[in-house]
Chain A
């Protein structure tokens, strides 16, 4: 019995619903593990031709759970901890293997995105083969604002080097129309049409020969490997270690310390406030 994921099968379509609506579907260890279970159930199932991933409640997902409770798989180890480099590298490898597994699932995957889609939530949406979003969706990866290294190499291939740097250096959020323009998602639709659009797409794909789909997907992903994606994953693992072992500069905002002292909400507020001008500029522009 799963507590943070709902998995249903309906007419050859496997629906995976991220189900922690009270936490805006923040991704913790439990959710990751259950997501794995749901995908592992869908992958060999001959009755499932295509998998759709969506979020329950107000949004797709706000990203990794930052509370620090049950999040050892999604957050870096505590600073000053005594884990060996080997252990740390293993943890990073586990993280990227998990992402690679989702990317290479032998069935087409569709992300149905509404509301916030940030950090690890955005990574998940990027890894799905096709991403459809409603106009109210917001995309971004604010990890660098917390001193965490964004760990998703797909950015470069989806939106190009200039936009990747713009997005990751600033941690800025963009709306769905802009996300479509830069190639982060396939299509943006009005909120009340989202469900219908994804259904139509999934049903259409579910009529295709399953063997053909699996090979077609593998062919396209193999092309990405040839373009260097495989090496990029490994490189990201190593860079994560470098980032984890750096020390905080004097006067630098320490997200995790602020969280422990003043609580998560205050820490998030303090993280994003300095960047409001970025936000205002975007709204004016």
Chain B
């Protein structure tokens, strides 16, 4: 099978999936989501693969959902202007909820190797992996709220706790890899030039954790792990978060009774282009929540 937006490799027992839209900073559109699923599916079939590493080509892991509005009907909720039927909206919500859970449930070690931007859905993807290894100067965050969207990802409260979840999601602020490690979003922050080496080392050691006397130890362990999450409410939380994300998408920022006349991401994008809209989205907040510099800006 040929995949266009991801690169699939296999090194010994480690499968590698590289998000490959470097010119778009690996923004996740429908095609990439489907390719990612197909690649994971392919690796799940391969009995020799015990660990999957997910990383990004070029400057970043992923800047998140593709906000261009072209080929994104599955990864983005319908735009307020589209006046979609509620049934369609909830269908989108449930589909995404199941998709993300499938990635979270992948029955092998999954490791996100993060460098550069890791935002929005990119951050969700990293969080859905079992382990996150990040460069110290990687940049994490979910700026969805700045466009009026609530996050569809319930894993936040498990990963960083309630207080930090609210701080991150109410402000849409960006933090660097070190801070992400401190609050628990990342398991290990690593000097950028050592990232690949350390991730490979972790992957190789995880690969040793395989069958025990013919019993697929990993699959068994992950099933147990997931059951534990579910007992503490993850499945219900995922459905709630997905549906509330969709609900937030129909609120028409800029036109609701509360926010009349305020910033409307979609309107600015359609008039002045995506780059300008993203700039307009983030600029007012730099003063309040200083943004860490990306590796490229540091150079």
Do A and B share a complex?
A: yes
Q: Which residues of A contact B (CB under 8 A)?
A: 46, 108, 129-131, 154, 157-158, 183-187, 200-201, 203-205, 207-213, 215-220, 222-228
| B161 and A215 contact, CB distance less than 8 A | no
A94 to chain B, nearest CB (A): 24
- B224 at the A/B interface (Cβ < 8 Å)? no
Known A-B contacts A204-B285, A209-B145, A216-B151; A157 and B162 likewise in contact (beta carbons under 8 Å): yes
Report the separation of the CA atoms of residues A130 and B170 in the bound assembly, to the nearest whole angstrom: 9
Task: Please provide the chain B residues from 241 to 258 with a CB less than 8 Å away from any CB of chain A in the complex.
Answer: 241, 244-245, 247-248, 251, 253-254, 256-258
- B87 at the A/B interface (Cβ < 8 Å)? no
| A219 and B163 contact, CB distance less than 8 A | no
A105 to chain B, nearest CB (A): 12
Known A-B contacts A208-B145, A211-B251; A220 and B166 likewise in contact (beta carbons under 8 Å): yes
Residue-wise interface mask of B (99-143) relative to A, using a CB-CB cutoff of 8 A (1 in contact, 0 not): 000000000000000000000000000000000000000000000
| A219 and B289 contact, CB distance less than 8 A | no
Q: Which secondary structure dominates where chain A touches chain B?
A: helix
Known pairs A46-B257, A46-B258, A154-B162 / 15 extra A-B pairs, C-beta < 8 Å: A108-B170, A130-B166, A186-B164, A204-B285, A209-B147, A210-B256, A211-B251, A215-B244, A216-B169, A216-B248, A219-B240, A219-B241, A223-B241, A225-B233, A226-B234
| B171 and A186 contact, CB distance less than 8 A | no
Nearest opposing residue in chain A for B284, CB measure? A207
- B33 at the A/B interface (Cβ < 8 Å)? no
Residue-wise interface mask of B (139-156) relative to A, using a CB-CB cutoff of 8 A (1 in contact, 0 not): 000000111111100101
Report the separation of the CA atoms of residues A6 and B258 in the bound assembly, to the nearest whole angstrom: 25
Residues of B in contact, count (CB < 8 Å): 46
How many inter-chain contacts with C-beta < 8 Å in the A-B complex?
135
Residues of B within 8 A of A186 (CB): 163-164, 167
Residues of A within 8 A of B241 (CB): 219, 222-223
A205 to chain B, nearest CB (A): 5
Q: Of the candidates A131, A157, A185, A223, which one forms a contact with B240 in the assembled complex, judged by CB atoms under 8 Å apart?
A: A223
Q: Of the candidates A108, A130, A211, A223, which one forms a contact with B237 in the assembled complex, judged by CB atoms under 8 Å apart?
A: A223
Report the separation of the CA atoms of residues A158 and B184 in the bound assembly, to the nearest whole angstrom: 13
